[in-house]
Amino acid sequence: MRDVLEINGKIIGLGERVRLELPVARLYTDGEIGIPIEVIRGKRKGPTVFLSAAIHGDELNGIEIIRQVIQSKALTRLKGTVIAVPIVNVHGVLNHSRYLPDRRDLNRSFPGSEKGSLAARVANLFLTEIVHKCDYGIDLHTGAIHRSNLPQIRANLEDEETFQLAKAFGVPVLLNSTLRDGSLRQSASEEGAKILLYEAGEALRFDDISVRAGVKGVLNVLSELGMLPKRKSRLQTEPFVAKSSSWVRATASGIVNSKKQLGDHVKKGEVLAEIGNPFGDVIDVVKAKYAGIVIGKQNIPLVQEGDAMFHVAIFADSEEVAEQIEILTEHYTDEVTG
């Protein structure tokens, strides 16, 4: 761990906790726009971890997860450094939009460049000012607009340490992802940082279970890294790695009557949804092409033929995964209601 941490020209020493703003761009109105950051450094040495959310500006669950993590009393015993970036895509959050005003996807614009498009500049700034100073990172996402994701970790599970951290997070569904897609995850991994991507919930919404599982997950990972004391009340769910996953698309255009929900175990050929006309006639049924678990789902009950409706992941033993998902859901629902 570095004794000296410098962000935007400001030196942050061991034991310090500071809030700062990383200037991104000037506005038409002559004002400035900046990324809000909180840096928490323990007195004792340990790894440096970034927590990032809202790289897609309409994905808000992660903002709430970071707010709760950095308010957590557990952090008073922190070893090492947490760099919390609750809002990476500030323009996107202001506009309730996934994208930047130049209509680029920030998470396809890494590593970016100093003199490139707005998206390329934000990506480059985040990489040089934050990621380069970190050993690990947890990037928080949700489904796209009108789509929900079951809490899941996506990471390069072929890397042994990343796999250990993914398991420690504490959600049942893990997806191996080694795409070269211009994402923060890809660029950060190439810089040598180990990255987990947490996907849960829907854009523009807070989802209680996703937020609670996310807060616990982040604290579990910090604990696994030795940055926080061992956690006593840790929920034990078994993690399973999906063999593959794909979207089931609408076979007709119409009004949707969903038969399956997030986390459900589906059998090959089972009906996922009925598609009907405005008079109540069923005109087609959408069936599972193989057995698996519904890990993502379109929520808007209107579809055009070809729309992606259900994201189904295949596991060696889907029934066991479904059981673990039920344990997770019940655990966090109890916490919400009682």
Q: Which residues bind Zn ion (CB under 5 A)?
A: 56, 59, 141
Taking the complex as a whole, the smallest distance from the CB of residue 142 to Zn ion amounts, in Å, to 7
* Cβ closest to Zn ion, residue 48 vs residue 52: 52
Give residue number: closest CB to Zn ion: 141
Taking the complex as a whole, the smallest distance from the CB of residue 337 to Zn ion amounts, in Å, to 29
Cα 335 to Cα 256: distance, rounded to the nearest angstrom:
32
| Cβ contacts of 240 within 8 Å, gap of 6 or more | 172, 173, 174, 315, 316, 317, 320, 321, 324
What does DSSP assign to residue 164? H
Taking the complex as a whole, the smallest distance from the CB of residue 147 to Zn ion amounts, in Å, to 11
* Cβ closest to Zn ion, residue 92 vs residue 239: 92
Taking the complex as a whole, the smallest distance from the CB of residue 98 to Zn ion amounts, in Å, to 7
136-141/44-53 β-pairing: parallel
Phi, psi of 242 (to 5 degrees): -70, 140
* Cβ closest to Zn ion, residue 60 vs residue 322: 60
* Cβ closest to Zn ion, residue 202 vs residue 224: 202
* Cβ closest to Zn ion, residue 199 vs residue 224: 199
Taking the complex as a whole, the smallest distance from the CB of residue 141 to Zn ion amounts, in Å, to 3
- Stated as kind and residue range, the H or E segment containing 52 is strand 44-53
End-to-end CA distance of the chain, in Å?
Answer: 41
* Cβ closest to Zn ion, residue 5 vs residue 88: 88
User: Cα separations (Å) of 225 from 49, 125, 222, 270?
Assistant: 10, 26, 5, 42
Single-letter amino acid code for the residue at 257: N
Taking the complex as a whole, the smallest distance from the CB of residue 242 to Zn ion amounts, in Å, to 18
Cα 1 to Cα 16: distance, rounded to the nearest angstrom:
15
